[in-house]
Structure 1
């Protein structure tokens, strides 16, 4: 049994709320005067804030009815207004689209591209604020229900690689929710004895077609995962991606997992201490998956390198 249908529906409705609110706010932005960006946006900012707050309230208000149906009444009902207030003041987030557009203009970009840059940021921050308000309400409602002992991350496609590798992960209620801008993942409550199993990263990856996989992970990472590389290791490696000179050429490597405790570092014999770094790191660089495929003589060689660099268990 996978994540309960109600939890998936809750996630879909929350994402739809964010999308609809973002579209309304972006439409408001599209009406600004190209000849007077500052004045025209500042006169609209109050209405944009009202639209966002309305969307946040709708997202936060959905938490209590959903949890009441799934878990039962809590020790207290969720206050949507409090959840919205916890996301912070909107003055700065709504000023940034204007600053971005003006900065682009000063750097020589066209007015059209500058306005589009501001619009992209505005859409991202709106969707993030909607999701944050909803998740705060969800968490509050779960904590108010003693039967809930943990929560599971619910990820629905399309999603980014960072979210996919966290799909199905279970957290205690004291752990914060990891999210990035525009992340629309939600939470599913778990009680002792619940028999359902979460959808794991590998299952989500298998549901994606080749084009979706390449867009989310990159071509080399898709090849590595298909050959059995751990999906989490492949994605996490990109956080510390860098270039180093080894083997007589410049290669792509990563600083992730290279200490003695890391998957790559634990398999190395020689370590070095670098100034400013509290941990000793492996002398041999940890190659990125795409570099492994570029250097490997054949598939077997590539798999050996994937294992040596900590992508395979």
Structure 2
């Protein structure tokens, strides 16, 4: 993990700040590639062949996502996982525009993560944009696999997918604007906007089901196409920050980036929460990390701390 051996528990938010870009995002990206390969590759139809070809890659995905927590003492303690989740949510949604440090505010941390881009040369930024274009290949490859495409290989299908993508962005902007404008003071207007957006979305889906070959499975498949595209757009917007920061587009970029980090955090925390829920996994991790005497003392201290908190609540 690149960090020295520690004997105290590190919160999930701290681990996320440290490993988000070096471990978690790379692991999720590789995982999405493997899922797309499993969904659309002819070789993946043979389960044994797929496992034989991708087992090392899946092991890399698991290592990137789980290694910071496997070597984190009490990383799979259920109570600490619950507290870490609350702390992570507070960090993500810390007041926008409120001056604070990276340990308290997601927005401050996010801006600090872009410092290397600001100090890059012109050609370094061009190279950064070229590398970020790889996320658009997901959309290009997947949209032709949708049922609504009807096996049409025309470039118009790809161009039409961009219209859908920007429509989704527009819907998000409308809801975000309504929330900022009306949620606190004009709650009825905010609910009305939500109702109109949901009604229009349902109506469009019904029309697509009636007059095209659209199927509900296309919604899940298109998520594998549009989510990487959105992340690629955010990364490119970070490079173009000097041009965008004074426009209304930048507020949308920051808001979307917050949602993406929230989504990444939920994806990473899901297996952590699952293993924390398993009663034997925490004990196994403690025995692996520490010797038996220390493990026994750690378990006793957990029991005593639990008894102490119970007594304090009764008082």
TM-score tier by shorter-chain length is: under 0.3
Which structure features the higher share of helix residues? 2
Q: With a CA cutoff of 8 Å and minimum separation of 6, indicate the structure with the bigger relative contact order.
A: 2
* TM-score, structure 1 as length reference: 0.23
Which structure features the higher share of strand residues? 1
